[in-house]
Chain A
C-alpha cells in the first residue's frame, strides 16, 4: 500500500514560522496541539458542569420534595420553591445534563481534544491538513457551548424536553428550546468541520512508511469516528433547522395538525409527523453512541499494548470490526423506536441489525482481553483505567441485548434500565478510557507525569462508585421504574425500588468528591510533576519520538514509520522497537 508524504507546504510553513503574538499562539491558534488542549480544557469544564447538574437532580430523585438546603440559594427563586426544586427546573437539568455530557463533554474530549492532539503526532504529520478550519471548528464549538449555558438564564430557563427533544413537546416548549436548537446547529457545524479535517489529515498527511495497516488503532478509531460524524450529523442539523422553523416560522414539519394543547386548539397547517423527528434524531444519535465510544476504544488499545509490553492481539480484527461497526451503526437507529408502534417486519429488521452489530463489539472486547494473555502487565494509572474500562464496557454492551430484543424492550423501554445501560457504556466506559488517555498522554503534553499515587486514589473509588451509581439502575429498570420522573415515588410500582435511588445518589455525590483528587493532580502536576523525556512509557508509536512537549511542527526531524505500531518485544532494548526507529527495520 502506498503512503503519502508529509504535506510539503505545511512542512515548509512550519519550518519558516515566525514568532506569533500571545493571542495567536494561545487563543486563536492554528496549532493542532494548542487546539487539542483548548478542546480538552473546555470539554473537561463542560463535563464538570454537566456532572454537577446531575448531582443536583439526584437529590430530588433520592429524596423527592425534600428541601435542597443551601443549594436553594444557588439555583434561584424561580427554580426552587419553598426550598424544593420545581419540576420544570428538574426537566431542564435532565435535558441539559444529557446534552452537555454528550455534545459538549465526551465527544469534544474524545475527538476534539485527543484526536486533535494525538492523531497528527501518531501519523507523523506536522499539523492537521486545514489548521484554520481546525481553529474555526473549536470556536464554533465554543460558541455553541456558550449558547447552551446562556439558555439557563433566558425566561423560563433552558430546554426541558429531554436531550432527545421530541416534537411536538419541544415545538411548544419555552424559549430555552430555541437556544438549544441554535446551540446544536453550532455544535453540529463544528463536528462537521472537524470530521472533514480528520479524514483529509489521516488520508493525506501520513508520514512515509505509515501505511494504513501500520496506523495505530487509535488513528483508525478516529478515522471511523470522523466518517460517522460526517455522514450522521447532517440529518440532525436539518432536523434542528426544521424544528426551529416549526417554532419560529409557523411551519409544521413535525406537527400533524389538529392538536389541542392546554385546552386551546393549536393553529398550524399540520401535515407533519412527530415520528419524522425521531427518525432524523436517532439516525444521528445511534452512530453518536459509537462516536462516544470509538475514541475511547482507541485509547484503550494504546494503553493496553503499552502496559502489557506485547503487541496488541488481533490488530486486523480490531480494524475490520471497527469499520464494520461504523457501517452497521447507520442501520440500527430505529431500535430506539420499537415502542412507537412498529410492525413485526420492521422490528425484526432493526432487531436483527442490532444483534449483528453486537458481534464486532464482542470481537473488539475479546481482542483486548486476549491481549492481556502472555503479557507482562504494568499496573500504571492509565492501565488501571483501561482495565477498569473492560468489564464496565462489557456490562454496557451486554445490557444492550435485552433492549435490542423488541419483546423484552416492551418492559424495559424508557425505564432506568436504559439509563444504566448507556451510562455503563459512556461513564465507566468512555470516561474511564478518556481518563486513561489523560494520564497516558499528559507527559507528552506537559513534559511531566501526573502523580501515580493520586491517580490510584482517583481510580479505585471511582471504579467502585461508578457501579454504585449505575448497577442499581438495572434493578430499578427491571422493576419497571420509569426514567425522567421528577418524583419516582409517585407511581406505586416504582416504590419497590426507591431504596436503590438513595444508594445511586450517594454514590454519585461521593464520585463528585473523588474527582477533586483528579483536578488537584491535573493542575498540581503541571508544575510539580516529575519531569520526563520524550518517551517515559517506553512506547512505540510516533508521538513518543517527538519531544515532550512537541514543538511547533511536532518533530525535530521529519519522521518515518519503519514497522507495525506495537512492536513490543522483551528481546529489544527497553522491551520495544519504536515505529520511527530505523534500526532492525
Chain B
C-alpha cells in the first residue's frame, strides 16, 4: 500500500447509483490500458528491430496492414458498447428527467449557492416551500425566505449543513444567487453545475451513513511522517494518551497543529484518524476568491438521527419565533 497522500483509485462510493459509474470508469480504463499496452509493445518492437545499423535497409513497400483496420474496428465496437450499453443508460437513470423521484416519496430540498456558502432550504413538515424574495435576501436570511407566508413558517434553512436520511431518495433543486457553482459530492458520485437563473433538479440516495463512511475511511498515520496537510479537518478515532496518562487527543476530537506537535513531543508513533465529516459538499466550479473553501457538510443520518435533527431544528425555529415576539 502506498503511503498517505498517494491514493490512486476511485474513492469510496456511498451512493446507490455510484456503482454503475465506477464500473464504467473501470471498464473504460481496462480498455484504454489494453490498447496502450498493445501499441506500446508494437512501438518498442519497431524501435529495436528497425533501428538504423550497418547492413539494415528500410523496406519501402509495405503490404496493406489488415491489423490496423482490425484495431480500428475493435475500437469502434468497444466505444459503441461503452456508450450505448453503459454510459447513456446510467446517465438516463441518474440525470434523465424521467427518472427523477416522485416528490411525495423523496425528501425534497432546495440548495441555493452563493459565494462562498451552500444555503440549504427544507420545506418543513408541510412539505411545501415558503415564498422567497430576492429583496429579502441578506446575511440572516440567505435564501430570502418570507416568514409571513404560511408555507414558510415551518421551513428550515441552514448554512453549509445538510442532513439527509440514509436509504431514502433525495431530490435537490439547485439554484445560485450570483455566479456558477458546482454541487459536488465526490463520495456519492454527484456533480452538478449550479447556474444562476436556472433551477436544476438532481437526485441521489445514500447507501451508507456518515458514521459508517468515517469508520471505513479511518486509517493509521505515522506521526513522524505526517503533516497537517494530510490531517486537516480530521478527528482521532481513538483517544491518545501521553505516558503520564494525560489525554493528548480524545476520541472524535479535532487533530490540530498543537495536537500533532504534542503527539510528536510525547513520542506517539501512530494515530488512527478519519475525516470529521467525510461527505463534504465541495464546489467544483471556480466561483471566485475563496472558491477553494466553499464547503458544506452533508450528514447522512439514520432515520432516527435525521428525525432527531429535524426536531432540534424545529425547536430552534420555535425559540427564534418567541424571541422575535
Contacts and interface: CB of A to CB of B under 8 A. Distances in A.
Given A366-B72, A570-B58, A377 B46 contact: yes
Given A258-B134, A261-B115, A343 B96 contact: yes
A369 B43 contact: yes
Nearest to A403: B28
A472 to B, nearest CB: 9
B11 to A, nearest CB: 5
Most buried by A among B62, B68, B197, B291: B197
B247 interface: no
Interface string B43-55: 1001100111000
A372 B292 contact: no
A377 B50 contact: yes
Nearest to A496: B7
A375 B82 contact: no
A204 interface: no
B58 A308 contact: yes
Interface string A478-498: 111010111111111101111
A565 interface: no
B130 interface: no
A487 B40 CA distance: 37
Interface string B75-105: 1100110110011101110111100000000
Most buried by A among B42, B138, B177, B231: B177
Given A258-B197, A348-B83, A352-B83, 8 more contacts: A172-B178, A339-B192, A355-B79, A374-B58, A406-B87, A480-B10, A488-B292, A500-B5
Contact of B59 (A256, A310, A405, A496): A310
A329 B144 CA distance: 44
Interface string A158-172: 000110001011001
A391 B31 CA distance: 16
Contact of A408 (B25, B52, B229, B292): B25
A548 to B, nearest CB: 23
Interface in A395-421: 395, 398-399, 401-402, 405-408, 410-415
A408 B90 CA distance: 9
Interface in A444-497: 475, 478-480, 482, 484-493, 495-497
Contact of A402 (B25, B282, B283): B25
A352 B87 CA distance: 11
Given A343-B97, A369-B42, A489-B232, A499 B196 contact: no
B275 interface: yes
Contacts of A308: 50, 58
Contact of A341 (B40, B51, B195): B195
B191 A256 contact: no
Which label, helix, strand, loop or mixed, suits the secondary structure of the B interface? mixed
A45 interface: no
Interface in A374-399: 374-379, 387, 390-391, 394-395, 398-399
A515 interface: no
Interface string A162-202: 10001011001000000000000000000000000000000
A374 B295 contact: no
B293 A490 contact: yes
Contacts of A370: 62, 65, 68
A523 interface: no
A394 B32 CA distance: 10
Most buried by B among A88, A258, A344, A387: A344
B238 interface: no
Interface string A234-267: 0000000000000000000000111111110110
Contact of A347 (B8, B20, B40, B91): B91
Given A313-B62, A376-B57, A413 B191 contact: yes
B60 to A, nearest CB: 5
B289 to A, nearest CB: 5
Interface stretch (A27-35, A72-80, A356-364): A356-364
B132 to A, nearest CB: 11
Contacts of A493: 11, 186-187, 275, 278, 280, 282
A334 B24 CA distance: 21
Contact of B83 (A261, A351, A366, A395): A351
A26 interface: no
Contacts of B223: none
Interface in A277-330: 308-311, 313-314
Contacts of B5: 495-500, 502
A347 B95 contact: yes
B197 to A, nearest CB: 2
A484 B291 contact: yes
B69 to A, nearest CB: 9
A560 interface: no
Contacts of B189: 410-411
B316 interface: no
Contact of B47 (A256, A348, A387, A569): A387
A568 interface: yes
A411 B190 CA distance: 7
A2 interface: no
Nearest to B234: A492
A265 B135 contact: yes
Nearest to B9: A478
Interface in B253-301: 275-278, 280, 282-293, 295
A574 to B, nearest CB: 13
A339 B290 contact: no
B222 interface: no
Interface in B224-245: 228-234
Most buried by A among B4, B22, B179: B179
A274 interface: yes
Nearest to B112: A260
B193 A341 contact: yes
20 contacts: A91-B286, A166-B180, A257-B197, A259-B178, A263-B137, A275-B198, A339-B284, A342-B95, A343-B96, A355-B79, A375-B58, A375-B59, A376-B50, A376-B57, A377-B47, A408-B21, A410-B21, A482-B282, A497-B8, A498-B5
A256 B60 CA distance: 63
B223 to A, nearest CB: 16
B295 to A, nearest CB: 7
Contacts of A480: 10-11, 186-187
